[in-house]
Chain A
Amino acid sequence: MSHASDVRLTEEERAMLAGEAGPAVRKAMEIVVALARIYGARHLVPVESVQVAGVSYKNLGDAGLQFLREWADEGARARVPAFLNPAGMDLQRWKELGIPEDFARAQAAVIEAYTRMGIAPSLTCTPYYIGLRPAFGSHVAWSESSAVSFANSVLGARTNREGGPSALAAAIAGRTGAYGLHLDENRRATCLIEVRAPVRSIADIGALGALAGELVRDGVPYFRGLDLSWTRRPEEALKALGAAMAASGAVALYHVEGLTPEAGLPEILPADVRVLTIHDLTAGYQKLNGPLEEIDLVSLGCPHASLEELGEVARFLAGRHVRTRLWITTARQVREQAERAGIVAQIEAAGGQVVADTCVIVAPVELLGVRSLATNSAKAALYARSHSGLETRFGTTEQCLEAALTGRWRGP
């Protein structure tokens, strides 16, 4: 019986599947080929990089840790550049954050297992801020949903929304099935969103994304009328848009007229697609805000903050002092740049923390006594409620920082 007659494999791939490269590679190929078969791929494609989610011990638990250790023991090694999504804590400053010792030990064991498999402990959802920007048209296998959206939409690379284990299998096999967003025909828009509401901040674009994700679910929206001239860094706005849509829906690719690299391609916007018009963002803000006044934790940096975003926070806080906990989460490499630029010292002088390697979603914030959160991230607002049971407030960066200074939320 041939297991893979439907998915065409090269000679090398067949040998890998037969176990000639060892049991660890065989298992990875079994996963890659099974998924290729389930989703109708005719063949596999080599991937240039892999971003592996499923790092926080909070999500993996002992079952995940045990599996990772055993796969590493079997000899599993990444054959393409591969790097990790955020973990459940800052690896250097976990004590300062109040992370329990047991959690820290298990988290370190998870990272050790991944490191043994040759996967870089970059611990970020924004690999594109640390030099990992896949080229237009290249095939990758990324898994964190906002990173997937950014790679597809802003960079024009090609990835499906991988799960943690399927991304890991792609790293070990060096391949993934040629299905879904790896194929031209699935990258076309499935609906047109006419933006008639004014969008002037990262919070506005998060509210827009929260609405759009709910409407589009796992489709491919094409935005028209989205003006980003209010910001000098449109990539940050696109990062927030993609993160919000991936959290409120399952959007893995979107196009913005005049901005994203595939938006101008012929046939990207079929003539017969459904047209949705968004006139007002109020419903988006309502969806992300609870009736909450006292704030325990203000968290910025979801997805991880850029150096420029950290600089903005430092300037806002100059000469002031926060009353709540304030986290700005970022990649370790970006934190190091901010440290050299004096930005970390400025934020710490105001009582804030620049937290690396983790974020408010994957850290065990419920173990830290945090019950209420203010954030400028639609994604964090949505997930903090569902993953950690926190009450949330969502608004502009300035509103969040004001809340950090006063301990209270002001505004609608």
Chain B
Amino acid sequence: MMNPELVLHGRVIKAGTAEGTALVSPAPISFLGGVDPDSGTIIEPGHPLEGMCVAGRILVFPTGKGSTVGSYTIYRMAKNGTAPAGIICAQSETIVAVGAIIAGIPMVDLIPIEQIATGDWVRIEDDTVYVRKSSEGPGKG
């Protein structure tokens, strides 16, 4: 990535490389029931990202919540082509970690996610996150 403005180091949950524009949620995400696996759209009523599509994005959120079956939803999204390209969490838990591993989505946690805004260009390389701030100014997320 050219001239990252910010380099953050975290902990590898699923090793790998991914890049894309960030979609940042200030609230936890539940994949079982909270995300439509066919479209990749967040459907939890009242969720800050309700109506937004996670497909192909670097999805940034504090932590997962909900049922452990949510791991299989993430897997299904990867099969459907509606999964995020990469996942960054402040603190991961079992559901999203297992989901990322079985779906093959690079994932890193222990990242200060408040330093990333929706629209930023983000690249994950194992435990390292490179961020180029959106040219449109401060993020909308």
Contact = CB atoms under 8 A, between A and B. Distances in A.
Interface in A117-170: 163-166, 169
Contact of B95 (A59, A63, A67, A163): A163
Interface residues of B, number: 26
29 contacts: A1-B15, A1-B126, A1-B127, A3-B12, A27-B101, A30-B101, A31-B101, A31-B102, A34-B97, A34-B98, A38-B109, A54-B68, A54-B69, A59-B69, A61-B69, A62-B76, A63-B73, A63-B75, A64-B69, A64-B72, A66-B75, A67-B72, A67-B76, A163-B71, A163-B95, A164-B69, A165-B68, A165-B71, A166-B98
Given A1-B127, A38-B92, A67-B75, A60 B69 contact: yes
A37 interface: yes
Interface of A: 1, 3, 27, 30-31, 34-35, 37-38, 54, 59-64, 66-67, 71, 163-166, 169
A27 B102 contact: yes
A63 B101 contact: no
A64 B72 CA distance: 5
B55 to A, nearest CB: 16
Contacts of A31: 97-98, 101-102
A170 to B, nearest CB: 12
A165 B127 contact: no
Interface string B78-90: 0100000000000
Contacts, number: 71
B60 to A, nearest CB: 18
B62 interface: no
Contacts of B75: 63, 66-67
A35 B69 contact: no
Contacts of B68: 54, 163-166
Contacts of A34: 13-14, 97-98, 101
Contact of B72 (A1, A3, A165, A166): A165
A54 B70 CA distance: 11
Given A54-B68, A165-B68, A63 B37 contact: yes
Mostly, the A contact residues are: helix
Nearest to A163: B68
A231 to B, nearest CB: 34
B93 interface: yes
Contacts of B11: 37
A169 B13 CA distance: 15
Given A37-B11, A38-B93, A61 B101 contact: no
Contacts of A35: 94, 97-98
Nearest to A6: B11
A58 to B, nearest CB: 10
A336 B14 CA distance: 45
A359 B15 CA distance: 39
B125 to A, nearest CB: 9
Contacts of B73: 63
Among B73, B76, B94, residue most surrounded by chain A Cβ atoms (within 10 Å): B94
Contacts of B76: 62-63, 66-67
